[in-house]
A and B are shown apart, each in its own frame.
Chain A
Amino acid sequence: MTANVEVINKNKVKKSGQLRSICNRYKRNKLAMTGLLLMLLLIIASLSAHFIVDYDNAIHQNMEERFQGPRSKHIFGTDHYGRDIFARIIHGAKISIFMGLFNVFTALAIGSIIGSVAAYFGGYVDSILMRLMDVFLAVPQTLLAISIVAVLGQGVFNLMIALCIAAIPKFARVVRSAMLTVREQEYIEAAKACGTGDIRIIFRHVMPNAIGPIIVQATLDMATSILSIASLSFLGLGIAPPTPEWGAMLSEGKVYMRDYPYLVVFPGLAIVITVLSLNLIGDGLRDALDPRLRN
């Protein structure tokens, strides 16, 4: 099985020297590699959250142990209900990361369809779709998400719908402009002149060249959506307690932060590290995909 995968990978790399040079450029970027490593650690931690620490510690109230400062038994301390903050952060990672991923993939899928349809058909279809996207873009993303959540009501699912709707227009624009830029290139004309079919042109020539900016946008947008999930939960419009969520933890801890500052320090650090590693990956990818942009 592993051998097979290796063979496939080898073939892939051999075939496209471009992919290999992108990987090499990415690997040389220390900051980007740090970001990738941090993200992998976070993903592993969130996948194995149940093995690291019991979910019960994250939600079970234990009034006898409330406001225990950081020490060996509770390395990040406990909150006003005596719940272990480390457990809540680890289980919170699962929520933030998977909601972020889900949000980006859905928005990307829908945005890609809208963007490609607009770019492919042009003319009236393009104008109408893009003006519609402009309407959504004219409302600040957070405000749009807040209005949608407020109307649909609190909850994980509604939050995801709201963030997804708010993120679609950006993807539609990026996909459209990437498609339009590539379409005008000479190598597409050359491929057409050689008698290459439409489908082959789209998948073999347009897609690989247009996908760079889209991947970068997706990585950076995942950072944005994790921030938005936390912001909305902080405002009390996102994920409702007692579910462990970083933004909601900050909102709860805020009340007691004068006496117990660790309540707001650790969840905030978790958000910063997650968002930072995604930003590092996004920047690294952008530089690796287009070295001309690098300053």
Chain B
Amino acid sequence: MIRYISKRILIMIPVLLGISFLIFSIMSLTPGDPALNILGKDATPESLQLLREEMGLNENFLTRYAKYMINAFRGNFGISYTTKTPVFDEVFTRYPTTLKLSFFSVLFAVTLGIPIGIVSAIKRYSLADSFSMTGALLLTSIPSFWLGLMLMLQLSLKHGWLPSTGFDSWKHYIMPCITLGAADLAILLRITRSNMLEVIRQDYIRTAKAKGAGEVRLIFKHAFRNAMLPIVTTIGLTFGSMLSGAIVVESVFGIPGVGTMIINAIRAKDTPLVMASVLFFTVIIGLINLLVDILYAFIDPRVASRYRG
């Protein structure tokens, strides 16, 4: 198991190197001068030249990339061009907000999506089933920013029940989490339903039924445990899409997370900040995928035995 985990972490390194190289080249090989962005249009050529020298912008591309990566391994991600503070601090003060937003959105999607999916599968072709499947179809087709605007219009502007922007009290969490979690709720619902339907057909369910297992026991002990693997995978993937969906949702509700920071940083061509945020995103998504794979072993003994072998 430990060997497997360390192998997976090692595989992440080339992926991270690839991504950092990709973003670094996109950000550096395109027109636009960070020194000019910092000093403004009135800067003298001499001061521009001095700043370029200081920032190491005059060196060739590969040297700059290598230097960046060596520093990054030491935990130094450079200084933000716009705020003049260390990027590491900047990213870390904003990350908790985005992670909280994503976590509660996943929680919202899971606590509603899985039970509704199970009910849908058990009561297949019932009114409840068609209702939830139609709902799921609609939710996957609604763009998150529009859902956010509609919720804001109804719940805060019209009735004043919830605050429309900011991220302080629990009330601020409700609309953004529904907005961000809605599409994934629909995906989880569909996956749960189709996997439960698949499992219910199996022989061992019939055997368990014949041996007199009660309905609740049948569903949770026999059926759901076997349907869980793809559901857990989906939850893992969901987290990845949440983090990028957060960019849009944060901008709708004015939440000071990494999403709004990335947009601002990209507009200001603040390369260090963009690099660090995207790298952190990737690391977190990679770690979540790893966590999901490890979880498999706990859910499915067959997977656990493969890790040991």
Contact B137 A280, beta carbon cutoff 8 Å: yes
How far is B3's CA from A280's CA once the two chains are assembled, in angstroms? 44
Q: Is the interface of B mostly helix, strand, loop or mixed?
A: helix
Contact A272-B248, Cβ < 8 Å, known A147-B278, A151-B30, A257-B153: no
B256-299 residues with Cβ-Cβ distance < 8 A to A are 262-263, 266-267, 269, 274, 278, 281-282, 285-286
Chain B residues with Cβ below 8 Å from A257 are 149, 152-153, 157
Report A243-275 CB contacts with B as 1/0, cut-off 8 Å. 000010010001001100100110010011001
User: Are B26's CB and A147's CB within 8 A?
Assistant: yes
**Contact check: which of B30, B137, B150, B248 meets A142 at CB < 8 Å?**
B248
- State A135–B18 Cα separation when bound (angstroms): 6
* B128 contacts the other chain (CB 8 A): no
* B22 interface contact, C-beta 8 A: yes
> CA A132 – CA B21 in complex, angstroms?
12
- The contact size tier of chain B is 35 or more
- For residue B15, CB closer than 8 A to chain A, the reply is yes
Count A-B contacts at CB 8 Å.
118
Q: Are A143 and B198 in contact (CB under 8 A)?
A: no
Nearest A-chain residue to B193, judged by Cβ: A295
When distances are taken between beta carbons in the complex, the residues of chain A under 8 Å from B248 are 142, 231, 234-235
Q: Is A276 an interface residue (CB 8 A)?
A: yes
Given known A-B contacts A139-B281, A139-B282, A148-B26, A271 and B146 have beta carbons under 8 A apart: yes
Say whether chain A's binding surface is mostly helix, strand, loop, or mixed. helix
Residue of A nearest to B146 (CB): A268
Are A234 and B266 closer than 8 Å at their CB atoms?
A: no
| A93: interface (CB < 8 Å) | no
Known: A138-B286, A258-B157. A235 touches B15 (CB 8 A): no
Judge whether B241 and A140 touch: CB under 8 Å.
yes
Residue on B nearest A261 in the bound complex, by CB: B153
Contacts of A283 in B (CB 8 A): 137
Contact status B241-A143, CB under 8 Å? no
Bound CA span A244–B76, Å: 44
- Asked whether A142 and B247 contact (CB < 8 A) given A147-B266, A275-B143, the answer is yes
Tell yes or no: A146 within 8 A of B by CB. Answer: yes
Distance of A148 Cα from B262 Cα, bound (Å):
13
Interchain residue pairs A-B with the least CB separation, the first 9: A140-B244, A150-B266, A135-B18, A268-B146, A276-B141, A275-B141, A142-B244, A151-B30, A295-B197
A/B interface sample: 5 pairs, CB < 8 A? A140-B240, A140-B281, A142-B244, A143-B247, A272-B141
